[in-house]
Structure 1
């Protein structure tokens, strides 16, 4: 397969986890190229509603960890946490409603070395994506949140050489990508579905409840 061939979908990937416990997690949101414009339109409609109803500018970066913790003053105001929770769940529902999206979450634990856990989780993620793409007869490109300084993605891709993913992930900062902000929210919910931190009990069931068609998080 030539790296110059067009791909059928793009997977947007974000990581999450809890370094102090050794939990490392990756989530990939796969967007069919043919559906990308329609999905973006649905997301923009959501952000426009937030602007009207909550005063949050459409261009405000949605970063789940800070947003749900009540940090930041989007548009100069500070929505109550309960408002933020409802908005996050609404965003998950919009993501879940888009036909053709493929959501995959993989995680692992290594209490002795979080970096090793991240590498193992990313390796497993690529294997799962490659298998699913082969079953569907598709190829894909990868986009990951980052500034290009993380060598893990190139190294794992080079070692694994997934047949349906011709190129290693391209790093893009999340503030520049609506898609990565979606992946960030899904990854954060996936993390809490696994970690079940007491102070985030309110969202333990979000992943399963609001993303019913997503694969359950897979441990490796």
Structure 2
């Protein structure tokens, strides 16, 4: 997992947003895909109006598109999604980890996976192949160089998940998002049906 380079690239993207004169995104702001898609953000110029103007809302929405383009270029990263017919989050996470572990075993590659469900603290899993044929992914400690960038990478993952969901759901009020996921991430895998 080359997360150090990927986290640095995502941090660079965030810095570009901070410097963009069409946005009012501050360093340290959390970028929530759902809020960006709704055009929520601070107005560029404080006024007596409530919230950003219509033009500013579109600039906030375009942050999602810019984010997907950044994600497409992240080094050492494979993008994919999964969906489940159940609301059982732990079972879904276990199924995703099982599929990822099977893939890495088949390819003889190693990986470190991080999963955060809802607002829970991230959980790390070692997907390095082991001799036992059906060994489940093992909980792991994140290396210190990875821990520093995990929030940035989880933020990027939220962009992918939200845009992939909108691509599949085809919600009319998010029509502008429907094709961003396949257009900007054509190499993305999935959705993996669990």
TM-score bracket, normalised by the shorter chain, equals: 0.7 to 0.9
The CA distance in 2 between the partners of 1:61 and 1:76, in whole Å, is 20
1:126 aligns with 2:102: no
Deviations 1:110-169 (A, max 9, x none): 5xxx3x4x4553333122211222124214242415335xxxx8xxxxxxxx73631179
The CA distance in 2 between the partners of 1:178 and 1:96, in whole Å, is 15
Whether the 8 Å CA contact 2:6–2:76 is kept in 1: the answer is no
Whether the 8 Å CA contact 1:208–1:216 is kept in 2: the answer is no
Pairwise mapping of residues 86-97 of structure 1 onto structure 2 (< 5 A)? 86-97=62-73
Provide the TM-score with structure 1 as the length reference: 0.64
Pairwise mapping of residues 56-71 of structure 1 onto structure 2 (< 5 A)? 56-71=25-40
Whether the 8 Å CA contact 1:96–1:211 is kept in 2: the answer is yes
Match in the other structure for 1:6:
none
Match in the other structure for 1:144:
116
- After superposition, the CA RMSD in angstroms is 3.0
- Partner SS for 2:82: strand
Pair member with larger Rg: 2
The CA distance in 2 between the partners of 1:202 and 1:126, in whole Å, is 32
Change (3 A) 1:195 1:49: same
Give the structure with the larger strand fraction: 1
Aligned length: 167
Gaps of 5+ in 1: 1-31, 154-161, 171-175
Aligned partner (choices 132, 137, 146) of residue 165 of structure 1: 137
